[in-house]
Structure 1
Amino acid sequence: MACYNAAMLRTMALAASLAITGHAFAGVDELPETIQKELYNKDMLDPNQPIGDSAYRDFVAKNPPPWKIGYASSYAGNTWRAGVMDRLQNTIIPKWKELGLISEVIVTQSNLNDSTQIQQMRQLVDQGVDAVIVCCSNPTALNQTVEYAHSKGVPVFSATGYLTSPYSVNSSANFVVGGNMLGEWMAKEVGGKGNVLVVEGIPGTSASDSQNVGIQAALSRNPDVTVAGQIAGMWTDQVAQAEIQKWMATNPGDLSGIIIQSASELGALRALQQSGRDMVPITIGSEMGALCYWRHNPDYVSGAIHAWPPGDDFEMAWNIMMRTLQGQGPKIQSILAKPVTMNKEEMLAAIPEDCSEDSDGWYHPGIEKWASAAYLDQFFLHPADPEKYDPKSHPKQ
């Protein structure tokens, strides 16, 4: 069948693996029981998500602060990445420089080329950075470079997705949980019956594939909801809009809804508006333009699911990195959070009526709601407020 493309077959294989694969829950056993059940349950966890003991439980940064940080970004071509850079440049860097804990942040871009990203990461290590952050990268391609960084005393932090190297520290929402939330929401939104189009992010990246596993698992529990097609939106509105328009042009049958990974929902809305079809429900994440359409049409959908607000998600990884450099000792390889939901009343209170449906900005629930200091404390052996760290207390000072 045409709808069973390579992306869907890959997801089906991963979902099958999820059903039969167990985990060694070594580091997870130290977490509160509620977190274990909600976010580290093997039935709701990507089987490739690393959840063993962290390699940095006893880590001490090779230099005292102020630290030099490298950010090896894999892509800069969508609004989500722009949201990350906005938080990094306008909030995070000024704040932590003022605290005297960082000296500079060196940013590189690889434009989805693994070989380029590997080269850039090695250069950052050789230039003397104290830590490297990567984002949304291939889960296996960087592993040798992560091990190289570790051999030089440089920890690597994977924001918004995981690396499978035992020497990385990963942070994100649990994307299988998030995908389940998206799929279940859509099933209820269409009354448990209908044809839906599933729009992936960037196939092959852990964040995209994990969300897709959750989506497919949720839909499998709703047998009267049919996946009419599956395409890739590349987490980019323009790409998603073009791909959805092409799909609709060759699939004129009934369409009940679109499950799409943020940041692409604004593209889905534009595709529907230009198609002349009914405005069927789509899954809305944190893109302001899509939230604004909902604000102007409050009965359009019943809710939104914030799976990875870019600034909050990146700041979570940054805070984990600073705690690790300070010797707080992360317990496990992957520190996970849960997506944040928004109902109509919350949307009306948060999104101004004079908003723009063309906005490519992002709504953020806020770091305290996404991954507060108290929440992160639970994942460290020696938790403390990272903003109150005294550089003179560093053992190599």
Structure 2
Amino acid sequence: MLKKVVTTVTLLAGLYSTTSAVMADGLDSLPADQLKLYELVDPAIPLGPTVFKDFVAKRPPPWKIGYASTYAGNTWRASILSEMTDVLLPKYKEAGLVSELVVTQSDLKDSVQIQQMRQMIDDGVDAIIICASNITALNQTIEYAHSKGVPVFSVSGYVTSPYAINATENNTHGGYSSAKWLAQEIGGKGNVLMVSGIPGFASSDSFNVGAKKAFSEFPDIKVVGDVAGKWTDQVAQVEVQKFLATNPADVNGILVQSASENGVLNAVEQSGRDMMPIVLGGEASAACYWRKNPDFISKSFHFWPPKSDARLVWDVMMRTLEGQGPKIQSILRPALPYTIDDVKEVLNEDCDPNSTAWLEPKGDAWWPASVAVSYFERAEDPLAWRPKK
């Protein structure tokens, strides 16, 4: 298996990963079906074994959890926080496993997030979930947390510290899959506009790396612009409106990083141009447009479904605190396609075009229990787990 892993990664050398034996050893602990999910990754994401393989929590449950977020200004952030505070926290409180959830917002300032994390550590949290903007800025603070027996878990993005676990979507895979679909949707030729998240942030940049690789495979596709939608509908709408007003050339397709697609749809409608294929990422508001116009596109993708992302990182955190032994430093999930039939299952024709809700993968499709067990040495149901007396 080790030889197979190194061969696979070598085929992607120079763009997506390295051939280090450490990385291969980490991946080699996974079954073949999960190993395939790592064939297209950001080159900087750490894939080796984790220092938390034999982790023992510094005290028994109930545990105090910190959530150091960077931003609260879009529907994705609101949804992930709602899942943690309204669903996961009560459930794990009732099971006697969690006592409280401490939440902070840093307004995209690394220095503020660092200060907030250190305060959480000094105030006695047992684990910290982060939504990081920079892959290295928090590393010293994460090492400080480790020295105090506090594991750190990154969601929707990654950090490079060996003292953290990344439980997140594979953004490079998401960018590649959606860009390839869009290129095929418009017949393999034409002009494409990209609407990024926040340039310089790991998830935004990783997504674009995958997208640009896919577009490069279509010589008749031309990327005519890349605007920063900042994962916020209002921002994306303004930026796309400005682009369309100052660039009269045809735009045959738009690749959008959620949560911006409803703003992009509004911008195109207001521009007076014919609607073109636009990649949707899960906003119910944009899906409502699709529900009312079923021939709009053939499919779209769940890149980072917020409630599912919250359940993923929470599950990984709890299993680690319980000593279940994570095998690998970065647990990645692939983009999942969905169709108009999936939309019709959850939205009626009279759906709300201004909804702040999100479409989510069905059931536990994002992080099935049958998959979760393959990422841990001593896996068991984290809700049913109890400390040994």
- Per the shorter chain, which TM-score range? over 0.9
Given that 1:265 and 1:285 are in contact with CA atoms closer than 8 Å, whether structure 2 keeps it comes out as yes
Does residue 40 (structure 1) correspond to residue 32 (structure 2)? The answer is: no
Q: For structure 1, which runs of at least 5 residues remain unmatched after alignment?
A: 1-14
TM-score (norm 2): 0.94
One of 338, 348, 351 as aligned partner of 2:347: 351
Give the Cα–Cα distance (whole angstroms) in 1 for the partners of residues 305 and 185 of structure 2: 23
Partner of 1:132: 128
Given that 2:301 and 2:337 are in contact with CA atoms closer than 8 Å, whether structure 1 keeps it comes out as yes
Cα drift, residue 305 of structure 1:
0.3
Give the Cα–Cα distance (whole angstroms) in 2 for the partners of residues 222 and 348 of structure 1: 32
One of 148, 151, 170 as aligned partner of 1:152: 148
Does residue 123 (structure 1) correspond to residue 119 (structure 2)? The answer is: yes
Partner of 2:5: none
Partner of 1:388: 384
Match of 1:186, SS state, is: helix
Cα drift, residue 367 of structure 1:
5.4
Cα drift, residue 351 of structure 1:
2.2
Match of 1:370, SS state, is: coil
Give the Cα–Cα distance (whole angstroms) in 2 for the partners of residues 314 and 272 of structure 1: 32
Q: 1:45 to 1:19 in 2, by over 3 A?
A: closer
- Provide, for residues 75-133 of structure 1, a one-character-per-residue CA deviation record: whole Å limited to 9, x for no partner: 00111000111111111111110111000000000000000000000000000000000
Match of 1:336, SS state, is: strand
Alignment of 1:162-177 (within 5 A): 162-177=158-173
Partner of 2:286: 290
Cα drift, residue 320 of structure 1:
0.2
Partner of 2:27: 28
Give the Cα–Cα distance (whole angstroms) in 1 for the partners of residues 15 and 349 of structure 2: 43
Given that 2:182 and 2:255 are in contact with CA atoms closer than 8 Å, whether structure 1 keeps it comes out as yes
Give the Cα–Cα distance (whole angstroms) in 1 for the partners of residues 344 and 162 of structure 2: 44
Q: Which amino acid aligns with 2:24?
A: F
One of 188, 193, 199 as aligned partner of 1:197: 193
- Provide, for residues 353-386 of structure 1, a one-character-per-residue CA deviation record: whole Å limited to 9, x for no partner: 2211111211111451110121111100111110
Q: Which amino acid aligns with 2:26?
A: G
Give the Cα–Cα distance (whole angstroms) in 2 for the partners of residues 353 and 308 of structure 1: 25
Cα drift, residue 350 of structure 1:
2.9
One of 286, 308, 312 as aligned partner of 2:308: 312
Cα drift, residue 281 of structure 1:
1.1
Give the Cα–Cα distance (whole angstroms) in 1 for the partners of residues 116 and 130 of structure 2: 11
Identity %: 53
Match of 2:168, SS state, is: strand
Give the Cα–Cα distance (whole angstroms) in 2 for the partners of residues 16 and 208 of structure 1: 21
Does residue 226 (structure 1) correspond to residue 225 (structure 2)? The answer is: no
Partner of 2:334: 338
One of 234, 238, 259 as aligned partner of 1:238: 234
One of 15, 23, 29 as aligned partner of 1:18: 15
- Provide, for residues 233-289 of structure 1, a one-character-per-residue CA deviation record: whole Å limited to 9, x for no partner: 111111111111111111111110110101100010010011111111110111000
Cα drift, residue 20 of structure 1:
7.4
Select between 55-64 and 367-376 the one with higher mean Cα deviation. 367-376
Alignment of 1:52-91 (within 5 A): 52-91=48-87
Given that 2:132 and 2:159 are in contact with CA atoms closer than 8 Å, whether structure 1 keeps it comes out as no
One of 26, 31, 51 as aligned partner of 2:47: 51
Q: 1:27 to 1:16 in 2, by over 3 A?
A: closer
Q: Which amino acid aligns with 2:15?
A: L
Partner of 1:11: none
Partner of 2:96: 100
Partner of 2:9: none
Given that 1:168 and 1:333 are in contact with CA atoms closer than 8 Å, whether structure 2 keeps it comes out as yes
Give the Cα–Cα distance (whole angstroms) in 1 for the partners of residues 311 and 242 of structure 2: 36
Match of 1:162, SS state, is: coil
Match of 2:28, SS state, is: helix
Q: Alignment length, in residue pairs?
A: 376
Give the Cα–Cα distance (whole angstroms) in 2 for the partners of residues 339 and 159 of structure 1: 15
Cα drift, residue 348 of structure 1:
2.1
Match of 1:293, SS state, is: helix
Given that 1:160 and 1:314 are in contact with CA atoms closer than 8 Å, whether structure 2 keeps it comes out as no
Does residue 212 (structure 1) correspond to residue 208 (structure 2)? The answer is: yes
Given that 1:288 and 1:361 are in contact with CA atoms closer than 8 Å, whether structure 2 keeps it comes out as yes
Q: Which amino acid aligns with 2:46?
A: P
